[in-house]
Each structure stands twice: as C-alpha cells, then as structure tokens.
Amino acid sequence: MSKLRSVCTTTLSLILAAASSASAQSTVKVGVLHSLTGTMAISEITVANAAQLAIDEINAKGGVLGKKIVVVKEDGASDWPTFATKAEKLLTQDKVATVFGGWTSASRKSMLPVFEKNGGLLFYPVQFEGNECSPNIIYTGAQPNQQALPALEWALSKGYKKIFLLGSDYVYPRTANLILKKHITDMKATLSGEEYVALGGTEFSSVINKIKAAKPDVIINTLNGDSNVSFFKQYQAAGYKASTLPVISFSIAEQEAQAIGTQLLNGQYATWNYFQSLPNPANKKFVAAYQKKHGAGAAITDPMAHAYMDVYLWKAAVEKARSFEPMAVRKAIVGISMDSPLGKITVAPNGSLTQAVYTGISGAGGQFKVVAQSKGVVKPEPYDKLAFPGKTCP
Amino acid sequence: MDFTFISGQLFTGLSVASILLLAALGLALSFGLMRVINMAHGEFLMVGGYLTYLAAQWAGPTLGDAWLWVAFPLAFLGAGLLGAVMEFAVIRRLYGRPLDTLLATFGISLILQQAARQLFGSTGVPVTAPAWLGGALTLGDVTLPFVRLFVIALALIVLAGMWWLLNRSPFGMHVRAVNQNREMAAALGVNTRSLDMLVFSLGAGIAGVAGVGLALIAPVNPTVGAAYIVNAFLVVVVGGVGSVLGAAVAAVLLGFVTALAEGFTSSSLAQAILLVLVVAFLQWKPRGLIPTKSRALEEA
C-alpha cells in the first residue's frame, strides 16, 4: 500500500514538474502596476486596460520569442509606498521580465530605487516634469520640451505675449512652471501671474480675480483632476470664454473632457503627443480594437496610447536582444522606431521617445481637433538647459 | 492692489462665505443642536449634487432651463429621506455618545462615497448651470457672476428660513426646548424621538439644497463632500456650537479672511493662514463667537 502510494506520488510529481517546466518555457511574466483603486483609479484603470490590450494582441499572434505573455496585475492603490512594495514583489517574487506602470511623479519616484536596486525595467507612460533620468526606467510620456515648451512657443506664435501660469500645488506643476518661467523670460514674453491651488481645490474666485487684474493673453493650465471642473465653471461664470481668454491645458485629455462637460471646454486647447482623433492607420486600428473591448463611447487618451505602445516597444527590444534580461532589453531598445498610434516614434539613447507634439482644440463629444503640430519629431530633453543647466542623462 | 481688485476680493469674500454657510447650516442643526458629530454631512451635499445632475438629465429635455426648480425639492427630499433613514438605523442608537457617532458616521460617509462611485462612476458627472445664470452683473470694472449672486441669495434664503423655523414656529419652540432641557421637554409632552429624527433629516435636506448650489460652481463627484466637511465644522465651531446666527457670522468672517489672505498671498497659503487664525481664535474664545446657553453644554 505504502509502496503504491509512493509510486503514485512520484509519477504525479514528475508529471507536474514536466508540466511546469513546459509552461515555464512557453510563457514570460510581465507586471502591470497601476492604481486600480483610490483617487487615481479613474485615470490609471484605462491605462492598464490599454497595456492589457497590446499584450492580448501580441499573445494572439504567438507571443514574444515564441513565448506567451502572462500578466501579473498589481494594484498600487493610489498610495506611493504601496507602489514601491508591489514593484519589489513583482521583481523579486514573481520575477517578471519587465513592468508597465505608474502615473503620478510620486509613484514613479517611490518605485525608482526598487528598480535600480533589483536591476529591473519599468515602462512609464505619462507626461512628467523631467529633471530625472534612470537607466532602469523607459520614460515614454512627454518630457517638458515635448509638451510644455511647444505649447508656450505655439502661444507666442499666436501673439499671446502675457502668460498666466495656473497649477495644482505639487511637484509636476511647480517644476513645469519653473521651466516655463525661464523660457518666458528668455523669449522676451511676460509672466503676468502665477497661482497654485491645493490638489482637489474647488474655490477659484480669488484666482479669477487675480487673473482679471493681471489681464493675461492666455492661461497655461497645469491643474490636475476635478479642480479643472471648478475652474472652468467659475471661469465661464466670470464672463470668460475661449475666444476672450484661451486656456492651454496639459492634464486634460479626452476622458477628462467628458467629465468637465464638453460645453464648458469648447474651444479650449490641450497639448499632448497623442489625440484620439489622429488619422494615422495604426491609431485607427488601436481605437477600433480598444472600443470593441471597452464600449463604443470609450475615450482614449495620450497616456493610454503610450501604455499600449510601450508593450510593442518592449516586444521589439526583446526580439532585437534575443533575450528577456532587463538590461539587455534596455541596451537593445535604443534606436528602435515604429509607426505607432502616436505616429512615428524612436527611442533615444536616454530611454525617452523622440515623438511629435500636437496642440488640439476641444470640440464636440470631448474630442480634440489638431490645430498645430511640431515640425517633425522632437528629441527628448529630460533636463531643461535653462532651468537645470549642466545636468544631463548618463 | 487697485480699487477694482479690492472690491473684487470683497465680493469673493461674500461668495466664499455663502458657500461656507450653505455647507455648515445643516451641520449647525445636527451638530449644534443634537451633539451628533456627523462626518457624513458632506455626503448629503454630494447626494444633493448628484440629484441635481439627475434633475438636469430627466427634466432638462422637457423643461429646459427650468430643471433647476425641480432640482431643489428633489435634492431636499432625497437628502432629507436619506438623513431620516440614517437617523433611524444608526444615529438613534448613539445619542449622547459623540465619539461613537463620529466613527459610525465616518463609516457611513465611506459607504455613501463608494455607492456613488458604483452608481455614477468615479469620473464625476457634468452639471452645467442654466443659461440665464450664465451672465454677470457689471458694476464699473467689477463683474459679479449671476451664478455667484444666485448662491449668495440661496444661502440667505436658507438662513432666513431656518431662523424663522427655529425662532417663530411651534416646531422651533420644541427644538429649542429639547435643546435646553430634554427631560423637562419630554415631561411636558414633546415627542423627543420623532423630533430628533425631524431635526436630523431637516439638516440633511438643507445640505441637499446646498448641494444644488455647489453643483453650479464645483464638480459633482464621489469625494466632493469631503472637500467641504472640514470648513463646515470650522464654521460651526467658530460660530459657537448650537447657534445658527453664530454660524452665519462665522461664515462671513471666515469668507472675508480667506479672500483677504488669498488676495495678498496665494490660495494654498491662505488655507494655512485661516487654520492658524482659527486655532488662535479658539484659544481666546473656546466656545465660539456666540455661545448658546444649554444644559447639555454646561454639563459637558
């Protein structure tokens, strides 16, 4: 009896071992780490969905280097220390080949040491303030010179010389505006005022009163989240509209436009590397595939398009390196270029993207129509030469 | 600092005061008169905001801009009903235990926020003010947006209604009697149980009406209530717990201090300045501007 049992268990364990080694050969694990709960969930769930869509597409076509991608999904819960803990878990316990994730600068800054310590690789899909560079992070969202500065240049070219800077009070608006101020002085334009409102703030009468006193030609808006709703409601009530005092926003995309109310946002501008309305074939395919899965009305934003493309960039780098080893992938990814929903993009040596910049005007259904675009693609500059002289990426 | 800017800031002070007052008036009833620390008060504002959105969705297509007049009774009754249910199910069991009401209502506020997220999504819903509120009154160089004037008028009407109800109606007499001496009032035939429920749901209903006003100038999302709850408590505590008049005076005072601080410094610094001043003020007058005399307070 006991002999029979030991034979059975041996056979069973052999079968299991064979099965698990077979599956280990035919799959590769990647992490998707976004806030699926908490205050950032509104923005990050759809970004995680976009990354998942790319992974599903790649798996349907046979995977990467013959291996199917298995996703380990983790919730950063809008809590920055949690992002570090989950990143550590993904790298050391799940041993993922790479991680796609993060949104706020705070979440990225808390994950950075974890990736550097463990030699991991993170694809970060959101525009940010620059002033940071790590060999373990591929920053695909816009650097300041790929969103803030082109917006400023466009405003000046339209004859808007007096600029008011309005932002939420945290690291991204403060740093972006520091850079903008240097360039406003450099380009002989006028800074007519600068105001910060606490994240989530809803009262803008004083700010609007100051704007009225300052009489700017244009507002550059780095408010985040629902503060935008209050601001645009109160701006309109004070008698302003896009034709009298235009606002250029960096954190309002198609999804936010729906929540603010398209009536309130009509005629206002946003600057991004991507709009849902871009007419290129890769984008049409992406929009159709996403809406097939998540509903015909689903809005698609710049960070989502970046997250979707990040997966394809990783696949191309893995195939070029013929390895899943993070640092080999990091080396191989430089110079890779592709026709993505954002248009033609190339990975620069500093791990950021060379990509085009678009300024769009908000119209019906919360969609943006492109009114201006960069001449060709723009090289990423993580450190602004005026604001952070002498600092460069290794 | 020219004249236009200063008069603009004076109007801002008035307009901030009206919002503080709207957020705090309902709380002045439940916290001031009944000693219930209701952390879910902000969620009554949120419910009012969502009911405003629903009124615009349902009545907008048929009534046009008149949907706003549907929103007021809907928000008042909806939030009031929710308040009655809450009082009956939870608060009733916790009278005289302020710390327990704090915990229980905090839990309820989280449940209500999550419920809103499930029903309406976490993105928030758009509410656009009717077109006739779109313009502005221009006095010289100073523009007074109609929607702001409307919210100020709303705060004054609600304040006047509450004052009349508490000081001139038989219901108000009973409320004041219970507030001063619950046992004696009960002995004289006041049904304190149903009075408690009425007062609490009235406070909730007033918060619902405030939610309509807020929806015109602020976002309607699951966490909007949380944005106003701290300031509402500030107003009630500075005004003197239990005093509706005190709440009104405190709201005006805090509104002008905020506008002044924002005018001379920045918005984010102004909130810190306000809190420092409130802390200093409470050292000087721990019972607020207009303290009420009541048994409950003297015993405390």
Residue whose pair of structure tokens reads 């703030």 in the numeric block: A201
Give dist(CA A139, CA A122) in Å, integer. Answer: 8
Which class for B238: exposed (0-12), middle (13-18), buried (19 or more C-beta within 10 A)? buried
Please indicate whether, in this complex, the C-beta atoms of B19 and A259 are within 8 angstroms of each other.
no
CA nearest to B28, candidates B155, B194, B169, B200: B200
How is A106-153 classified by DSSP, letter by letter?
Answer: HHHHHHHHHHHHHT--EEE-S--------TTEEE-S--GGGTHHHHHH
B13 pairs with which residues across the strands? none
Please indicate whether, in this complex, the C-beta atoms of A260 and B146 are within 8 angstroms of each other.
no
Give dist(CA B7, CA A391) in Å, integer. Answer: 47
pLDDT at A264 over 90: no
Residues of A in contact with B46 (CB under 8 A): none
Numbered residues of chain B with Cβ closer than 8 Å to any chain A Cβ = 2, 4-5, 8-9, 11-12, 15-16, 19, 122-129, 133-136, 143, 145-148, 216-219, 221, 223-224, 227, 258-259, 262-263, 266-268, 270-271
- Interface mutation vs chain A, best among B113, B257, B262, B275, most A CBs within 10 Å: B262
Report CA-CA distances (Å) from A2 to A5, A6, A8, A12, A14. Answer: 5, 6, 10, 15, 18
pLDDT digits (tens, 9 = 90+) for A96-141: 999 999 998 999 999 999 999 999 999 999 999 999 999 999 999 9
The per-residue pLDDT for A287 is 96
Q: How far is B37 from chain A (nearest CA, A)?
A: 24
Backbone angles phi, psi at B60, to 5 degrees: -50, -50
Give dist(CA A278, CA A341) in Å, integer. Answer: 8
Residues of A in contact with B216 (CB under 8 A): 233
Q: Does A365 touch chain B (CB under 8 A)?
A: no
When CB atoms are compared, the residue of A205, A259, A262 closest to B123 is A259
Please indicate whether, in this complex, the C-beta atoms of B9 and A209 are within 8 angstroms of each other.
yes
Average pLDDT of span A262-283: 93
Domains of chain B: 3-299 (1.10.3470)
Query: Nearest residue on chain A to B121, judged by CA atoms?
Result: A42
Please indicate whether, in this complex, the C-beta atoms of B221 and A226 are within 8 angstroms of each other.
yes
**Cα angle vertex A97, ends A94, A103, to 5°?**
90
Mapping DSSP to helix (H, G, I), strand (E, B) and coil, where does residue B187 land? helix
Domains of chain A: 28-142+279-355 (3.40.50.2300), 145-277+359-373 (3.40.50.2300)
Please indicate whether, in this complex, the C-beta atoms of B268 and A233 are within 8 angstroms of each other.
no
Which has more confidence, B64 or A317? Answer: A317
Q: Does A169 touch chain B (CB under 8 A)?
A: yes
List all residues of chain A from 247 to 276 with a beta carbon under 8 Å from chain B: 255, 258-264
Give dist(CA B244, CA B253) in Å, integer. Answer: 14
Please indicate whether, in this complex, the C-beta atoms of A201 and B219 are within 8 angstroms of each other.
no
When CB atoms are compared, the residue of B5, B126, B270 closest to A213 is B5
Average pLDDT of span B280-300: 73
When CB atoms are compared, the residue of A198, A234, A260 closest to B268 is A198
Q: Residue B189: which region, alpha, beta or left (left: phi > 0; alpha: psi -120 to 50)?
A: left
Q: Give every CB contact of residue B56 below 8 A, 6+ residues apart in sequence.
A: B67, B71, B127, B128
List all residues of chain A from 182 to 221 with a beta carbon under 8 Å from chain B: 195-198, 200-203, 205-207, 209-210, 212-213
The per-residue pLDDT for A313 is 96
CA B241 remoteness from chain centre: 14
- Interface mutation vs chain A, best among B122, B142, B149, most A CBs within 10 Å: B122
Q: What percent of chain B has pLDDT over 90?
A: 52
Please indicate whether, in this complex, the C-beta atoms of A209 and B129 are within 8 angstroms of each other.
no
Please indicate whether, in this complex, the C-beta atoms of B123 and A255 are within 8 angstroms of each other.
yes
Residues of A in contact with B4 (CB under 8 A): 212-213
The per-residue pLDDT for A8 is 58
Backbone angles phi, psi at A343, to 5 degrees: 100, -165
Handedness of CA A329, A334, A335, A339 (dihedral sign): positive
Give dist(CA B165, CA A85) in Å, integer. Answer: 56
**pLDDT band at B300, cuts 50/70/90?**
very low
**pLDDT band at B299, cuts 50/70/90?**
very low
Contact A358, A147 (CB under 8 A): no
Please indicate whether, in this complex, the C-beta atoms of B16 and A205 are within 8 angstroms of each other.
yes
Residues of B in contact with A229 (CB under 8 A): 124, 126, 218-219, 221
pLDDT digits (tens, 9 = 90+) for A33-73: 999 887 777 788 899 999 999 999 999 999 999 999 999 99
When CB atoms are compared, the residue of A202, A239, A258 closest to B218 is A202
Give dist(CA B136, CA B146) in Å, integer. Answer: 5
The per-residue pLDDT for B226 is 87
Of the listed ranges A2-6, A161-165, A371-375, the least confidently predicted one is: A2-6
Q: Where are the alpha helices (DSSP H) in chain B?
A: 3-27, 41-63, 67-89, 98-120, 146-168, 170-180, 182-187, 192-217, 224-239, 244-264, 267-284, 295-299
Residue whose pair of structure tokens reads 């450190």 in the numeric block: A383
Give dist(CA B111, CA A125) in Å, integer. Answer: 33
Mapping DSSP to helix (H, G, I), strand (E, B) and coil, where does residue A214 land? helix
Average pLDDT of span B23-51: 89
**pLDDT band at A392, cuts 50/70/90?**
confident
Give dist(CA B13, CA B16) in Å, integer. Answer: 5
Residues of A in contact with B5 (CB under 8 A): 209-210, 212-213
Give dist(CA B99, CA B101) in Å, integer. Answer: 5
Instruction: Determine which helix (DSSP H) or strand (DSSP E) holds A363, and give its type and residue range.
Output: none
Q: How far is A252 from chain B (nearest CA, A)?
A: 13
pLDDT digits (tens, 9 = 90+) for B172-190: 989 888 888 888 888 998 8
A167 pairs with which residues across the strands? A196, A222
Q: Give every CB contact of residue B206 below 8 A, 6+ residues apart in sequence.
A: B25, B26, B29, B76, B158, B162
Please indicate whether, in this complex, the C-beta atoms of B267 and A200 are within 8 angstroms of each other.
no
pLDDT digits (tens, 9 = 90+) for B122-180: 778 888 888 888 888 888 778 889 999 999 999 999 999 999 998 899 999 898 888 88
When CB atoms are compared, the residue of A198, A237, A259 closest to B217 is A237
Backbone angles phi, psi at B36, to 5 degrees: -100, 120
Other CB atoms within 10 Å distance of the CB of residue B180 = 16
Please indicate whether, in this complex, the C-beta atoms of A202 and B219 are within 8 angstroms of each other.
yes
Please indicate whether, in this complex, the C-beta atoms of A237 and B9 are within 8 angstroms of each other.
no
Which has more confidence, B64 or A142? Answer: A142
The per-residue pLDDT for B249 is 94
Q: Where are the alpha helices (DSSP H) in chain A?
A: 2-26, 41-60, 80-88, 105-118, 148-157, 171-186, 205-214, 227-237, 254-260, 262-265, 281-294, 302-321, 326-333
A:B CB pairs within 8 Å: 113
Q: Give every CB contact of residue B251 below 8 A, 6+ residues apart in sequence.
A: B17, B18, B20, B21, B24, B235, B239
Which amino acid is residue A59, in one-letter code?
A: N
Encoded tokens for A22: 């077979």
Which has more confidence, A84 or B266? Answer: A84
pLDDT at B297 over 60: no
Q: How far is A69 from chain B (nearest CA, A)?
A: 30
pLDDT digits (tens, 9 = 90+) for A163-196: 999 999 988 999 999 999 999 999 999 999 999 9
Query: Nearest residue on chain A to B149, judged by CA atoms?
Result: A237
Encoded tokens for B64: 């046009």
Please indicate whether, in this complex, the C-beta atoms of A209 and B12 are within 8 angstroms of each other.
yes
Encoded tokens for A348: 């620069």
Q: Specify the pairing of strand A343-347 against strand A337-340.
A: antiparallel
Report CA-CA distances (Å) from B82 to A22, A53, A280, B46, B202. Answer: 58, 41, 51, 12, 10
Buried b / exposed e across A288-299, counting CB within 10 Å, b at 16+?
Answer: ebbeeeeeeebb
Give dist(CA A138, CA A122) in Å, integer. Answer: 6
Give dist(CA B190, CA B170) in Å, integer. Answer: 11
Give dist(CA A309, CA A286) in Å, integer. Answer: 10
pLDDT digits (tens, 9 = 90+) for B255-288: 999 999 998 888 888 888 999 999 999 999 888 8
Residues of A in contact with B122 (CB under 8 A): 41-42
